[in-house]
A and B are shown apart, each in its own frame.
Chain A
């Protein structure tokens, strides 16, 4: 049974991405007790699934590793993974959250030695790689997962394979009897940092994501570019494994569109500009990128990043929202549309199309188990009516990492103020 000691001076942080980790760390390093709830088996959120991040193009390990170390060292942070908040009751300074914890079937004894993975045979979808590949049914969620602890997939529980997996472990870490459990966590304030999810590209029918193998999303492209990803960092197109040397990026795929997401997702222009660098890195002058856009929104300081990409002769910009995609007999996606600078009609084949999909809240405010004021896209608004529940990072806005961290720090500060009031009242 999981035990969580928490009081109404505890800060509950929901979501363990860069925003949730930041909020938890800021609060804990100010001396507050924190319970950090993460739905996935590891912390890090979507940042850990990027290959590099703008503006400096460093690897996510560089930002995440230090935060993981801070979390590990801080006795005031209690991390619950594979956990979700199912209800929040009470009022500012006195909340109680129900937290449902899914069984991991692996306990704290795990050393991540990997023997259980060798013993497993069944392959399951690799969620970390957006299901582009498969992993063994006993797996480490990702290379840099925190906690560094394996997971046994529920699909093999009750089979002889599970017994084999258990037998392979020398550390008595596999516990097949683990059950789902629900614990109650008290908290004075809540930071809600459940982040974003990519807009469902299947809904953008004219682009045929569901029909054409060589139409993929920007998040999948991150995984294709990563040496630790499913292709070992080779940018190969899904249909035939051919090197994708001529890639089209389609901006506002699902954003700024009354039929899909109303808002500008704010980071996808920068994401595509960044991804043209992956093409250069992979293929040099042989790597051609074409960005189809309505307008490029390289938010504030990033204008210089945009100018650098503009100066790259291997990157072409076409001012046009692509009307639709068809496929030619060689499996090349052919982009159809009319450009806005001259009204030229085009029908251009590419090796691969990357849809710069929009960001929507991973938990829409309407589905947060508390009364929360939100905007028309489901992002949390900052509002008195929310009491002491504060939105942070991409749960509140489509933001880049830098701004997510700022937003998380601000939320931590608000939460700390509530806790200080509670502490004063209790003397």
Chain B
């Protein structure tokens, strides 16, 4: 998509299409979030930088950034932001827009996990922990999957003992009573959200 350089168009787009996006213009670039984020030092773009890039109209760069996907929702930034920007929410909102616009970075582990989790959940209305874990282990191929599973073995055993993981779930697993009702509800919610956020 072509987008004019240095216009406010992207800021407007973020305001309309991103959860809590209307807050971005309130950022005063003080740097507290960037300096407070426990992970920011390892990212290409801190929240402060992302917000400035939005205002500078750098749509492609923002939406293809890895940073939003790295946010752990620790809320350190929100707690300290002098302007009370809901930074965490904006970061996740941006990630969602990036995903829907097809600009999210390829093979981003958090994005992959998010997709697996979603696909897993909507099938029965309940998360199938076993399939989710296996899906995650084997996402990079069979032999890597075996290695991952071996490495995580003790965690898996512990979860089974604590009844957090049921080996029988491999057969299909538990679900909600009204599966089709559940799926219809999600579909409707998505329709509403897509309409509101102008997502195709």
Closest-by-CB residue of B relative to A260 is: B82
Contact with B along A222-261 (1 / 0, CB 8 A): 0000000000000000000000000000001000111110
| Bound complex: CA A252 to CA B83 (Å) | 13
B93 at the interface (CB under 8 A from A): no
Given contacts A338-B48, A340-B48, A343-B48, contact A324 B82 (CB under 8 A): no
Contact B32 A323 (CB under 8 A): yes
Contact B35 A338 (CB under 8 A): yes
B36 at the interface (CB under 8 A from A): yes
Contact A257 B35 (CB under 8 A): no
Decide if the interface of chain A is mainly helix, strand, loop or mixed. loop
Of A252, A257, A258, A323, the residue contacting B34 (CB under 8 A) is: A323
Q: How many residues of A contact B (CB 8 A)?
A: 20
When distances are taken between beta carbons in the complex, the residues of chain A under 8 Å from B83 are 258
Given contacts A206-B80, A337-B35, A345-B35, contact A294 B30 (CB under 8 A): yes
Contact B31 A340 (CB under 8 A): yes
| Contact residues of A between 345 and 363, Cβ < 8 Å to B | 345
Contact A345 B32 (CB under 8 A): no
A70 at the interface (CB under 8 A from B): no
Of B29, B35, B49, the residue contacting A324 (CB under 8 A) is: B35
Contact B36 A259 (CB under 8 A): no
Q: How many residues of B contact A (CB 8 A)?
A: 19
When distances are taken between beta carbons in the complex, the residues of chain A under 8 Å from B65 are none
Contact A343 B49 (CB under 8 A): yes
Most A CB atoms within 10 A — which of B31, B34, B49, B83?
B31
Contact A294 B28 (CB under 8 A): yes
Contact B34 A338 (CB under 8 A): yes
A336 at the interface (CB under 8 A from B): yes
Closest-by-CB residue of A relative to B83 is: A258
Contact with A along B1-41 (1 / 0, CB 8 A): 00000000000000000000000000011111011100011
When distances are taken between beta carbons in the complex, the residues of chain A under 8 Å from B49 are 343
| Contact residues of B between 24 and 75, Cβ < 8 Å to A | 28-32, 34-36, 40-41, 46, 48-49
| Contact residues of A between 292 and 350, Cβ < 8 Å to B | 294, 320-324, 336-340, 343, 345
| Contact residues of B between 158 and 188, Cβ < 8 Å to A | none
| Bound complex: CA A359 to CA B197 (Å) | 43
| Bound complex: CA A68 to CA B118 (Å) | 76
Q: How far is the CB of A17 from chain B (nearest CB, A)?
A: 29
Of A256, A259, A260, A320, the residue contacting B35 (CB under 8 A) is: A320
When distances are taken between beta carbons in the complex, the residues of chain A under 8 Å from B81 are 258
| Bound complex: CA A396 to CA B32 (Å) | 30
B190 at the interface (CB under 8 A from A): no
Q: How far is the CB of B180 from chain A (nearest CB, A)?
A: 46
| Bound complex: CA A36 to CA B24 (Å) | 50
Closest-by-CB residue of A relative to B49 is: A343
Contact A340 B29 (CB under 8 A): yes
Closest-by-CB residue of B relative to A295 is: B28
Q: How far is the CB of A65 from chain B (nearest CB, A)?
A: 40
Contact A259 B80 (CB under 8 A): yes
| Bound complex: CA A365 to CA B13 (Å) | 43
| Bound complex: CA A345 to CA B40 (Å) | 10
| Bound complex: CA A411 to CA B83 (Å) | 34
Contact with A along B115-144 (1 / 0, CB 8 A): 000000000000000000000000000000
B106 at the interface (CB under 8 A from A): no
Closest-by-CB residue of A relative to B77 is: A323
B84 at the interface (CB under 8 A from A): yes
Contact A323 B82 (CB under 8 A): no
Q: How far is the CB of B138 from chain A (nearest CB, A)?
A: 37
Q: How far is the CB of A27 from chain B (nearest CB, A)?
A: 41
Closest-by-CB residue of A relative to B41 is: A345
Given contacts A252-B82, A257-B82, A258-B83, contact A337 B32 (CB under 8 A): yes
Given contacts A206-B36, A343-B48, contact A337 B31 (CB under 8 A): yes
When distances are taken between beta carbons in the complex, the residues of chain B under 8 Å from A339 are 31
| Bound complex: CA A151 to CA B22 (Å) | 58
Contact A321 B48 (CB under 8 A): no
Q: How far is the CB of B61 from chain A (nearest CB, A)?
A: 14
Given contacts A206-B36, A323-B36, contact A259 B82 (CB under 8 A): yes
| Contact residues of A between 98 and 131, Cβ < 8 Å to B | none
When distances are taken between beta carbons in the complex, the residues of chain B under 8 Å from A206 are 36, 80
Of B30, B34, B36, the residue contacting A343 (CB under 8 A) is: B34
Q: How far is the CB of A339 from chain B (nearest CB, A)?
A: 7
Chain B interface (Cβ < 8 Å from any Cβ of A): 28-32, 34-36, 40-41, 46, 48-49, 79-84
Extra 6 A-B pairs, beta carbons < 8 Å, given A294-B28, A294-B30: A252-B30, A294-B29, A320-B31, A323-B34, A337-B34, A340-B29
21 contacts between A and B (CB under 8 A): A206-B36, A252-B30, A256-B82, A257-B82, A258-B83, A259-B79, A259-B82, A294-B29, A294-B30, A321-B32, A321-B35, A323-B32, A323-B35, A337-B31, A337-B32, A337-B34, A338-B34, A338-B46, A343-B49, A345-B35, A345-B41
| For the complex of A and B, 9 pairs with smallest distance between CB atoms | A323-B35, A337-B35, A321-B30, A338-B34, A257-B82, A258-B84, A320-B31, A323-B36, A338-B31
